[in-house]
Structure 1
Amino acid sequence: MAEHKEEEAEPVTEKITEHFDSSSSSSDSDDEKSKPEAIEAKIYRLFGREKPVHTVLGGGKPADVFLWRNKKISAGVLGGATAIWVLFELMEYHLLSLVCHCLILSLAMLFLWSNASTFINKSPPNIPEVSIPEDVVVNVALSLRYEINRGFAVLREIASGRDLKKFLGVIAGLWVLSVIGSCCNFLTLFYIAFVLLHTVPVLYEKYEDKVDAFAEKATAEFKKHYAVVHAKCLSKIPKGPSKDKKH
């Protein structure tokens, strides 16, 4: 009887193990099926962004300042820019006058300190030698040259007439900048851009899900209207020669 019970118990355990193996294999297959679906269903990000906001801003200390990682440094930079704008724009102070007055004050203080040290029986102040490193100037010049050449290449591509959408976008952007430039001078425009860099990225990083959802709806509506305009008007405009065509 005992041997008969043991023989009946063995298939029961085998059935239980087979059940767990089949359930685990089915769950693994479900996970493998769900992975491609999760990859395909990507979340819409503004301007097709795939990287974090910190990486898009270049990373490092500048991105930390724009995203207020260190509130004291970011507040100090924004406060310094505000002080410069108030000094030159509201108080109508001139840059050349500021440079001359700062040099007069610093030279007078160092001169008086050097002469007073002889009466106090102290060594005169060790004035450091200031010089601009050659590597820094060369790197800045090369970076500026690269950006200017890239801008010229983009303008040349737009002027060739191959991409009408990009052409209209650039024309609209330049027109908006011309309108803004007629309302304020370059310093005010630079200060506005500087303030936006310190406010818009940090607000977007905080509310990026809501902003991206709204941007997705707005982009869909814009594509609908653009398709109508393109079908009625823009498609009838002749385009320039393609890149593959040899002259």
Structure 2
Amino acid sequence: MADHEESKIESVMEKITEKLHGDNSSSSSDSDDEKSSFNSKIIGSLEGKSLFTRFSVVANVSADVFLWRNKKISAGSLGGSTAIWVLFELLEYHLLSLVCHGLILVLAILFLWSNATTFINKSPPHIPEVYIPEEPVLQFATALRIEINRAFAVLRDIASGRDLKKFLSVIAGLWVLSIVGSCCNFLTLFYIVFVLLHTVPVLYEKYEDQVDSFAEKAMVQFKKQYAVFDAKVLSKIPRGPLKDKKKV
């Protein structure tokens, strides 16, 4: 009787163990599937949506960095960009020289370490395999292709002459960007933009009410000035054939 009870208890314990292992394996497989399809779902959600929606998705992903919600990552990215800017801009270091010197240093350390282990009777260090996975590269290329195609579509729409206001805004923006580009090189401009991304969102989140109030007043003044400019200049410009076709 006791042996029969013990066998029952053992069978119940085996069933519980099998159930737990099955749940763990299924949950781990599900988590692996979710991780592998996470980036593809993000990219798929970006395609076919408006610019504001796609910007919101990207902003949610990078909010921890630019809003300093994860201070270690934010400080690391800003410190790394500052170090790169100091190396290449202030110290006038070259990218090819930096890569070669870095590889020389790493290879020398690993070579000496591997040979030193034979004298101290220890196993040589394990050098991990470094390779670029295919899936993230393809996902990045797909997302970049979508954005480039959208930019070409926007430029084509602007050049078609349908919206004079948008055309003048783009021309003014490119002109200002060309002036800024003539004052500093690309690396300095990229560093300035990177620093602004780490400071402006935080300041806006802190002083949101004051900034919104000032922006509303500035927008009202801009609309007034644009109305005067439209009445004196834009309204006197002859309309293109596309606008005539719309009226017909």
Is this a same-fold pair by TM over 0.5? yes
SS in 1 for 2:139: helix
The residue that corresponds to 1:14 in the other structure is: none
SS in 1 for 2:59: coil
**Aligned residue type for 1:189:** L
Distance 2:228 2:98 in 1: 56
**Aligned residue type for 1:108:** A
Q: What do residues 38-78 of structure 1 show as CA deviations (whole Å, max 9, x unaligned)?
A: xxxxxxxxxxxx99xx9576213x21110111223322221
Residue ranges of structure 1 left out of the alignment (5+ in a row): 1-49
| Residue 230 of structure 2 is aligned to residue 241 of structure 1 | no
**Aligned residue type for 2:60:** G
Stretch moving more, 96-105 or 211-220? 211-220
1:169, CA displacement in angstroms?
Answer: 0.7
The residue that corresponds to 1:15 in the other structure is: none
**Aligned residue type for 2:134:** E
SS in 2 for 1:58: helix
Is contact 1:67-1:202 (8 Å) kept?
A: yes
Distance 2:192 2:100 in 1: 27
Please give the residue correspondences for 1:214-229 in structure 2 after superposition, counting only pairs within 5 Å.
214-229=214-229
Distance 2:70 2:155 in 1: 38
The residue that corresponds to 2:185 in the other structure is: 185
Q: What do residues 192-245 of structure 1 show as CA deviations (whole Å, max 9, x unaligned)?
A: 000000011110111111111111111111111211211222122213415986
Residue ranges of structure 2 left out of the alignment (5+ in a row): 1-51
The residue that corresponds to 1:17 in the other structure is: none
Please give the residue correspondences for 1:71-90 in structure 2 after superposition, counting only pairs within 5 Å.
71-90=71-90
Distance 1:213 1:56, change over 3 A: farther
Give the number of the structure whose residues are more often helix, by fraction.
2
**Aligned residue type for 1:59:** N
Is contact 1:114-1:125 (8 Å) kept?
A: yes
The residue that corresponds to 2:146 in the other structure is: 146
**Aligned residue type for 2:125:** P
SS in 1 for 2:171: helix
Please give the residue correspondences for 1:11-22 in structure 2 after superposition, counting only pairs within 5 Å.
none
Distance 2:243 2:114 in 1: 71
**Aligned residue type for 1:220:** V
Please give the residue correspondences for 1:1-247 in structure 2 after superposition, counting only pairs within 5 Å.
55=56, 58-60=59-61, 62-237=62-237, 238-242=239-243
Distance 1:210 1:240, change over 3 A: farther
1:110, CA displacement in angstroms?
Answer: 0.7
Distance 2:135 2:96 in 1: 28
Instruction: Count the aligned residue pairs.
Output: 193
Distance 2:138 2:74 in 1: 29
**Aligned residue type for 1:120:** I
**Aligned residue type for 2:178:** S
State, as a whole percentage, how many aligned pairs show the same letter: 75
TM-score by length of 2: 0.73
Is contact 1:85-1:187 (8 Å) kept?
A: yes
**What do you get for the CA RMSD once the two structures are aligned?**
2.1
Distance 1:55 1:150, change over 3 A: closer
Distance 2:136 2:188 in 1: 28
**Aligned residue type for 2:240:** K
Q: Once superposed, which parts of structure 1, at least 4 consecutive aligned residues long, lie more than 6 Å away?
A: none
Q: Which structure is larger by alpha-carbon Rg, 1 or 2?
A: 1
Stretch moving more, 62-71 or 196-205? 62-71
